[in-house]
A and B are shown apart, each in its own frame.
Chain A
Amino acid sequence: MIEVQSLTKRYPTQVAVSDVSFSVREGEILGFLGPNGAGKTTTMRVLTGFLPPTSGTARIAGHDIVRESREARASLGYLPESAALYPEMRVREYLAFRARLEGVSGPELTRRVGDAIARCLLEEVADRKVENLSKGYRQRTALAGALVHEPPVLILDEPTVGLDPAQIIRIRETIRALGRERAVLLSTHILPEVDAVCDRVLIIDRGRIVAEGTPQELRRKLAGSPTVRVSIRGAVDASAAIRELPGVTEVEETVEDGETRLRVITAAEADVAEDIFRLAVSRGWILRELARESVSLEDVFVRLTHHDDTAKAPEESSASEAQA
């Protein structure tokens, strides 16, 4: 539904997006993840026809964004980062206006406006003026405006920014439901959002794609070796025995507050937690903690987009991995 081929956008002073390629299928939600200023908004503005690309091409529902701009724009709904609305309009009026701009009219217009209001849970405020709405309702009104013409492609720039947690959960549910029958490209710099909403993630940094995959794949690919954290009551010499277990590559041991704490680093596919448990039982150690350290997407993200020299090497290797 969205196909992007080596898209580049250059401003007079900088390259905002550099040779970006990806695609989004129908029924898929692609998360566009990156720090502020990474080029997410610029990419979206190019895809929606608001800015022309410097080079490269993209197709929205089969229509070239430059040569068939109007058809491409007709096939997509766009929620800009600003989620700007006309303050003097009522919610229903605004949605009717947006639908008319998309060429919807007559009874169809009433039906679609009603649908958008229901989908984005705007019934309570449908006849209120935008200027009197809370940030959450405005955001949802803007989202409703983007999907009122029921486009096959949705491009949402930070749809949950500025919302309270309850609103975030609701809007994510809405987006999930929308993603079942559409292609959705969603940008965010909030990591849990990606886990909660997206089927696939694209990490972009300084205008380039540095990683791509499902949240699970990214974690696995970038987590490094699985690690198990162990605490045992009293000072015991556990590290020697644990090091003997199959799959264990390294053990770090510290003793403090009357506890022996160990970090057990293992080979990729090994699961040593059960072995450690049996070992503890046979040795009579009192286990206070036995946990797998999971690498969060946050760690992956920080590792990929951290801009000092120590982090440079893994970033580059993962970039080549993603493109391979």
Chain B
Amino acid sequence: MRKVLAILGREWRAYFFSPLAYVILAAFLLVNGFIFYAILNYLATPGPKGQALVLLFTNTYFWIFNLFVVPVIAMRLFPEERRSGTIESLLTAPVSEGEVVLGKFLGALGFFLTLWLPTLLYVAILRSQTRIDVGPVASGYLGVALLGAYFLAVGTFASTLTKNQIIAAILCFGMLIPIFSVGLLESMFAGAGKDWLNYLNLWDHMDEFARGVVDSRRIVYYLSATALFLFLATVSLSAKKENP
């Protein structure tokens, strides 16, 4: 586990040495600043406003942002080490492929969560001015963390498949689109099909989380999907070793 932490720490810090990290951070704050402004407008209208912060997690921008930014965060994980050659000393150290994958994934997840850190300021500002329910905010952040883990696991897998960062990002995007949109087809079905698709409807899940509904089935889905893609990444990394 110490070795995983060592990889995690190196990976997380490496993000802040690339200009890309700051571009992502700036874009993220811009989008969220706009959403915060929308929340304030909404609060200015009459009526009960306890769940105004739901908007932070359930809006079109939230999804556009995650679908585009996660591939960019994850794309460098393995391709960069392959290009520079550091992969050689990493994989010849006494660490398993699984530990390498896990450490890198957690480093990327750490960066993703760091992006969300400044939004806690919005929560603090709103709380100082009005009554805000803490529960839904907390479960909203839990939803963000679970979704981020799922998407980044897909991105980690994609980045083991190629030496090229751009291709890794496109592969990740190509996998995230069906993962995201299959649940949206829910409304076209009825009965069992609808239930199944609802289980995969990420948009609905985020709505639930943001309203304070923590359904254990959702958590199981996100965690098992994350585990599946990390497993695939480990297998892919081992296979690359056989056939570089």
Contact = CB atoms under 8 A, between A and B. Distances in A.
Contact of A85 (B9, B86, B96, B244): B86
Residue among B84, B91, B93, B244 with the highest chain A CB neighbour number at 10 A: B93
B94 interface: yes
11 contacts: A50-B88, A51-B241, A51-B244, A78-B89, A84-B84, A87-B17, A97-B10, A100-B3, A101-B3, A101-B95, A103-B3
Interface string B1-25: 0110111011001100100000000
A73 B93 contact: yes
Contacts of A71: 94
* Most central of A76, A101, A146 by chain B CB within 10 Å: A101
B90 A101 contact: yes
B241 A50 contact: yes
Contacts of A78: 88-89, 92
Nearest to A131: B17
Contacts of B86: 84-86
Nearest to B11: A86
A80 B2 contact: no
Interface of B: 2-3, 5-7, 9-10, 13-14, 17, 84-86, 88-96, 241-242, 244
Contacts of A133: none
Contacts of B6: 97, 100-101
B2 to A, nearest CB: 6
Given A52-B241, A100-B2, A100-B6, A84 B89 contact: yes
B94 to A, nearest CB: 4
Instruction: Give 10 nearest A-B pairs by CB, closest first.
Output: A82-B85, A84-B85, A88-B17, A100-B6, A74-B94, A101-B93, A80-B88, A48-B92, A84-B86, A73-B94
Counting chain A residues whose Cβ lies within 8 A of the other chain, the interface size class is 20 to 34
Given A52-B241, A101-B94, A89 B10 contact: yes
Given A84-B84, A84-B89, A102 B94 contact: yes
A81 to B, nearest CB: 8
A312 interface: no
Nearest to B17: A88
Contacts of B241: 50-52
A240 B86 CA distance: 66
Give the dominant DSSP class at B's interface: helix
Interface of A: 45, 48-52, 70-71, 73-74, 76, 78, 80, 82-89, 97-98, 100-103, 105, 142, 145-146
Interface centre among B5, B10, B88, B89 (most CB of A within 10 A): B89
Nearest to B81: A84
Contacts of B84: 82, 84, 86
A152 to B, nearest CB: 14
> Which of B6, B85, B88 counts the most chain A CB atoms within 10 A?
B88
Nearest to A75: B94
A84 to B, nearest CB: 3
Contact of A145 (B2, B85, B89, B91): B89
B96 A70 contact: yes
B93 A80 contact: no
Contacts of B14: 86, 88
Given A84-B84, A84-B86, A98-B89, A105 B2 contact: yes
B96 A86 contact: no
A311 B241 CA distance: 37
Nearest to A49: B92
Given A78-B89, A80-B85, A145-B89, A86 B94 contact: no
Contacts of B92: 48-50, 73, 76, 78, 80
Contacts of B95: 101
A102 B91 CA distance: 11
Nearest to B94: A74
Chain A CB count within 10 A is highest, among B6, B85, B91, for: B6
Contact of A86 (B2, B10, B91, B244): B10
B215 to A, nearest CB: 39
Given A52-B241, A97-B6, A100-B6, A80 B89 contact: yes
A83 B92 CA distance: 13
Nearest to B15: A88
Given A84-B85, A84-B88, A100-B5, 8 more contacts: A52-B241, A84-B86, A100-B6, A101-B6, A101-B7, A101-B95, A103-B94, A142-B89
